[in-house]
Structure 1
Amino acid sequence: MIALLPFTIIRPHATGPRLFLIILDTVFLTLATASAASAAAIVYLAHNGNQDTNWLAICNQFGDFCAQTSGAVVSSFITVVVLVLLIVMSALAIGKH
């Protein structure tokens, strides 16, 4: 008698849950993009300021803060690119099945 392990069961018609996961991944991609864009706007204000609202540029006084926030913005946009690649690879994998 052959014992089947749980991970050897293959369900070829389970595209519904996979499609739902791609939709959720797209929602998280949208949230990551929005958070990266808002962080970029704040870093822009920190570097340049805004004369209309009397917001002074603070990067002259707090150089380490600006370097760390700029690095965080760059890493968040890298995260967005990685998420896009993962979503495309997931969609292609579903399309092949």
Structure 2
Amino acid sequence: MDSFSDRHDFSLVDSRERQRQRSVNQAFAELRYILPTHPPDKKLSKHEILRLSIKYIHILETILKYQEEVEGRLPVSNISHICTATTTSSSSKSK
């Protein structure tokens, strides 16, 4: 027979899973927002968002390397470090 405690435990697990899924969906929505696509409101699956994100990162990396070589900008390794530090600090603030 189910006890109140068992039902409460399942409810807690379900609640955590729903929150985790909302967080994942929010992350995909934010990633989708910054991806350039045509048309801009094109519906993308999570798989497509990840695939396009990887391509977009490679394009941005190529641009940064070009700027470093031609225009004497910061080396890509320094920029990556700055971006990582910014992301880490902003994500820790949101917790």
For the aligned pair, the TM-score class normalised by the smaller chain equals 0.3 to 0.5
TM score, norm. by length of structure 2 = 0.40
TM score, norm. by length of structure 1 = 0.39
Rg larger in structure: 1
